[in-house]
Structure 1
């Protein structure tokens, strides 16, 4: 099953939506805790839902169960927690939440996980797909768009 990930930072709307359209993304799965931040620009929930439908023929789903807790995220962003500890805590959280059992896997078929980070290397969206590949029988083929 082919799945994508993307971050909206360092991309203007044209680049962002062209990535999604040319990749034939069916569903954008928003894995952010806060999907209405003023800093998000075109990537705010309601605007994103509209642009996806009109420009890409794609659906929008907010999945906060695939996001870190505020405590974990804030500690990492403030530099109080190194990446490895963040990764460990987040993966443990995914296990506690049993995301492999509660998340609808059909959304991942030509779905795209959205977060704010430009690149996936230090972003939880990569950890989500890695976790699902390890703890489910989905066999996800992941392509990071950046």
Structure 2
């Protein structure tokens, strides 16, 4: 199984959709807690769903069960919790949600996990991919651009 991740921040629409087309992903799985923010530009939910279909022939789905809780996100972004604390709490949240049992593997086969962060290093999409790769067989992960 090939699983990709991507963030839209600091990417033009041309670069973003080009990366998705080059990778030949079939489904974009939006793992953002808030996917309708005015700051999202072309990546707002309804616009993104339309553009993915029209430009790349890619399906769109939003999975809140792969997003952090608002309190977890606020603790990290607004209250100064460390990245290590955030990682630990997010891994615990995924264990509690049992995402390895509730997310259909076929949904994520040749799919890309989307979040806003430019790089995967400090983004929960990387944590989701790593968590599932530890629990499912033969998962390879590639972080796009």
TM-score in terms of structure 1 length: 0.97
Tell me the alpha carbon deviations over residues 37-87 of structure 1, each in whole angstroms, 9 at most, x when there is no partner.
100000011000000000100000000100000000011011420000000
Moved over 6 A (4+): none
Q: Deviations over 1:78-106 (max 9, x none)?
A: 14200000000000000000000001111
Question: What CA distance in whole angstroms lies between the structure 1 residues aligned with 2:101 and 2:107?
Answer: 13
1:6-41 per-position Cα deviation (integer Å, ceiling 9, x unaligned): 000000100000000111010000000001110000
When the two chains are superposed, the root-mean-square deviation of aligned CA atoms in Å is 0.8
Aligned residue for 1:25, secondary structure, equals: coil
Consecutive unaligned residues in structure 2, runs of 5 or more? none
Paired with 1:62 and 1:32, the residues of 2 have a C-alpha distance of 8
Q: Look up the SS of the partner of 1:120 in the other structure.
A: coil
1:74-89 map, 5 Å = 74-89=74-89
Question: What's 1:6 paired with?
Answer: 6
1:105 is aligned to 105
Question: Relative to structure 2, which stretch is displaced further, 74-83 or 85-94?
Answer: 74-83
Paired positions, count: 145
Unmatched tracts of structure 1, length 5 or more: none
